[in-house]
Structure 1
Amino acid sequence: MRKFNAENERIKREYLIYLREAKGQDESSLDKVAAALLGFEEAIGFKPFKAFRREWASKYKTYMKRRKNARTGKSLGVTTRDASLRLVKAFVEWLSTQAGYRTRITYSDAAYFNNNAREARAAHAQRPVAYPSIEQCDHAFRQMPENDVFARRDKAVFALLMLTSARDGAVASLRLGHIDLVERVLYQDGREVKTKNGKYIESNFLPVNPMYRSCLERWVTYLRKDLMFGPADALFPKAEMGTPTGKFAVAGLSREPYANGQKINQIFKSAFLSAGMRSFSAHTLRKTHAMLMDKICDTMEDRKAFSQNMGHEHLATTISAYMPVTLERQREIIRNLGEKGEQ
């Protein structure tokens, strides 16, 4: 049975309420905080937070280094450990301002939860991430089957990702009313669609192969005319379970969307694996589109419009996050610049 400290549970609950109501953090972020705090309690033997000692920071660091990933069985990576340390540090900072704790914990005590400089650099270092080329995407898409309604849905999912660069979580929550085939626009209203930070994004269809738009149009037409789906029904509905043959099984398409982007990501990955290639997550497609931007955009205004289409308020976000320059490319560029300077 899991151990717990009633007093700690109360103050943790207050902290999570503070993060949700005052800081606007979503449930997934709160789950990460709760997990980090539970790990901290396990490291200190569930002692009351009011008995705080600076040495607890060292105990937690040691605990994190010894922990194993539940899925892989391997030690936790430096990025995971660094993130957990930062979450606990923020909690201790907040705790130092609370009645009943501020006489026992000082704000500076939280600094003991800082990672060492070497591991902090390693945790935040940018690493090259593989992403598919436009040609690989086209090939994977052409190999996707259309033999049943679920296969056609999955192919339409791939098509929409290619056309809009929308995030998988947002795509999972889309409804028919969010897409305009005439204007070729996907409206991602953060009040209805699970966009990052609840942003409003208008994603005009990108200049990719016309086969993607044709596929998506066929799917939307099928939903509207054959299944009589309306604006409030899911654009990519999950399977509906029932007992059409007396046994509990898939009975068709529900009118409800998926709860998160897991299925969308799975569809994208599977398309590449089935085509005999390595798998790519749906998020890596945003790098593909960023490189497309660099290839076809001639002016800064072009790039700014493309960046906004991806949901970024600042062009710098697109460039820094999705257009990394490898060391090899850096070397090549500087050498070329040197040759130009010598002329």
Structure 2
Amino acid sequence: MNPWNERLRHDYIEHLSDAKKHGDKTIDAAMRHLTELERYMGGKNFESLTKSQAKAFNDHLHQRPSKAGADTLSDSSIVHTLSDLKAFFDWLITFKKLKVDLEAVARLTPSPRVVIGLKTQPDKAPPTADKIRQMLAAMADQTVFQRRNRALVALIYLTGMRVGAVISLRCKHVKLADRQILQNAREVNTKFGKNMLTSWFPVGEDIQQIVVAWVRERLEGGADPDAPLFPARPRFRLPGDETREKEAFWKTSQPLREVFRSACRSADIDYINPHAVRDTLMLLGLEICATWEELKAWSQNLGHEKLDTSLVHYGKLDTNRQNTLMQGLVRTDLTVRDEQELLMLYRRLPAKKRASLLDVLTLG
């Protein structure tokens, strides 16, 4: 162990945490990449990196097998490793004022093949609504911990909320009567510290009931309005119980991700990243929103100020879905297209006119 490098590592962790506001997972990855480079350098001081060492390490990354068993590291792993290392050396130069060979740092750059390969990877299909329902169906609800976990998955599907916001929610933030979540940025860890009023998405009454049942269980169990909606260790306070022990919030998002991982294993499906549920919801919005105004409302409900954000980052179709839709268009005859246009016109009518037209069609 190189004591000098350890001091730098300690200071850099503090910089990433306090200045950059990175989470534990991101910081741990950066430290793993630093350790790999340090071992390759034979434990020498980081700032002594030479051009030949940097080039050799770069070649090593492009050639070494993946721990997952692949012949080589994925393009993503190579890019992230080198990106983390360059950020570290930039910090050494800018903040620590250490003399570092800039030519050496410049050689910590992924090959054009890797960069192009990363940009042109086939798009991964977002989880389908059926897969999410499969998860929920496989989750037990016999214990308070099981019901908490099931409600957590249901709420993410119901609201599209980000992980950090979900684990910081308090009981008082759920408005059952209005079917909304008040994301108060003073108390909820929202992106960019934005206040948001999130309405529940139309994903099914059964999904709503899972969340409603959990909120009622929390309140009827004596939880304070300021208590976490999803506590690390939920407890039931009996009537007359004066114990004021506070329930703790989860400190990181890792337990939530483990809930998803365990549910996917139980359902015998591939792991669904909690954040990917937002893609599922955006594609659902594209399917059922009849007007641009409705689509804009749907986008804003996901926390996006601009519709472009939703369409570019969350509404992108995977290649298989793209091809399916295009083949469907090719096979659609004019009669079916006329029917589709009539359906769209019907959905754009005000609710009262739709109801009147439906009565006429039903009587006819």
Q: Give yes or no for TM over 0.5.
A: yes
- Say if 1:154 and 1:299 are closer, same or farther in 2 by CA, change over 3 A: same
1:256 lines up with 2:248 in the alignment: yes
Identity %: 29
Whether contact under 8 Å (1:173, 1:260) holds in the other structure is: no
Point out the structure with max Rg over C-alpha. 2
For residue 280 of structure 1, give the secondary structure of its aligned residue in structure 2: coil
Q: Which residue of 2 aligns with 1:56?
A: 53
For residue 197 of structure 2, give the secondary structure of its aligned residue in structure 1: strand
Give, in whole Å, the separation in 1 of the partners of 2:7 and 2:314. 41
The one-letter code matched in structure 1 to 2:316 is P
Give, in whole Å, the separation in 2 of the partners of 1:68 and 1:4. 27
Paired residue for 2:84, among 63, 84, 87?
87
> Can you give the 5+ residue segments of structure 2 that lack an aligned partner in the other structure?
236-244, 334-364
Give, in whole Å, the separation in 1 of the partners of 2:270 and 2:95. 51
Paired residue for 1:230, among 220, 224, 229?
224
Q: Which residue of 1 aligns with 2:342?
A: none
- Say if 1:38 and 1:189 are closer, same or farther in 2 by CA, change over 3 A: farther
- Say if 1:26 and 1:267 are closer, same or farther in 2 by CA, change over 3 A: closer
Whether contact under 8 Å (2:122, 2:319) holds in the other structure is: no
Give, in whole Å, the separation in 1 of the partners of 2:134 and 2:7. 54
Query: How far is the alpha carbon of 1:96 from its aligned partner?
Result: 3.6
Whether contact under 8 Å (1:95, 1:105) holds in the other structure is: no
The more displaced of 278-287 and 157-166 is: 278-287
Q: Which residue of 1 aligns with 2:339?
A: none
Query: How far is the alpha carbon of 1:336 from its aligned partner?
Result: 5.2
Paired residue for 1:289, among 281, 301, 307?
281
Whether contact under 8 Å (1:79, 1:124) holds in the other structure is: no
Q: Which residue of 2 aligns with 1:29?
A: 26
> Can you give the 5+ residue segments of structure 1 that lack an aligned partner in the other structure?
242-252
Give, in whole Å, the separation in 2 of the partners of 1:26 and 1:139. 30
Paired residue for 2:101, among 95, 100, 105?
105
Query: How far is the alpha carbon of 1:197 from its aligned partner?
Result: 5.1
The more displaced of 59-68 and 206-215 is: 59-68
- Say if 1:335 and 1:109 are closer, same or farther in 2 by CA, change over 3 A: farther
Give, in whole Å, the separation in 2 of the partners of 1:178 and 1:141. 23
For residue 107 of structure 2, give the secondary structure of its aligned residue in structure 1: helix
For residue 186 of structure 1, give the secondary structure of its aligned residue in structure 2: strand
Give, in whole Å, the separation in 2 of the partners of 1:300 and 1:152. 37
RMSD: 3.4
Q: Which residue of 2 aligns with 1:247?
A: none
The one-letter code matched in structure 2 to 1:105 is D
- Say if 1:261 and 1:99 are closer, same or farther in 2 by CA, change over 3 A: closer
- Say if 1:118 and 1:281 are closer, same or farther in 2 by CA, change over 3 A: same
For residue 238 of structure 1, give the secondary structure of its aligned residue in structure 2: coil
Paired residue for 1:164, among 129, 149, 159?
159
Give, in whole Å, the separation in 1 of the partners of 2:224 and 2:151. 18
Paired residue for 2:316, among 317, 320, 324?
324
Query: How far is the alpha carbon of 1:83 from its aligned partner?
Result: 0.6
Query: How far is the alpha carbon of 1:27 from its aligned partner?
Result: 4.2
Aligned length: 321
Give, in whole Å, the separation in 2 of the partners of 1:335 and 1:152. 41
Whether contact under 8 Å (1:90, 1:110) holds in the other structure is: no
Paired residue for 1:300, among 278, 292, 295?
292
The more displaced of 325-334 and 303-312 is: 325-334
Paired residue for 1:267, among 256, 259, 262?
259
Paired residue for 2:2, among 1, 4, 7?
4
Give, in whole Å, the separation in 2 of the partners of 1:18 and 1:207. 42
1:218 lines up with 2:213 in the alignment: yes
Give, in whole Å, the separation in 2 of the partners of 1:143 and 1:14. 45
The more displaced of 24-33 and 326-335 is: 326-335
The one-letter code matched in structure 2 to 1:82 is V
Give, in whole Å, the separation in 2 of the partners of 1:20 and 1:279. 28
Query: How far is the alpha carbon of 1:228 from its aligned partner?
Result: 0.5
Query: How far is the alpha carbon of 1:89 from its aligned partner?
Result: 1.4
For residue 113 of structure 1, give the secondary structure of its aligned residue in structure 2: coil
- Say if 1:230 and 1:46 are closer, same or farther in 2 by CA, change over 3 A: same
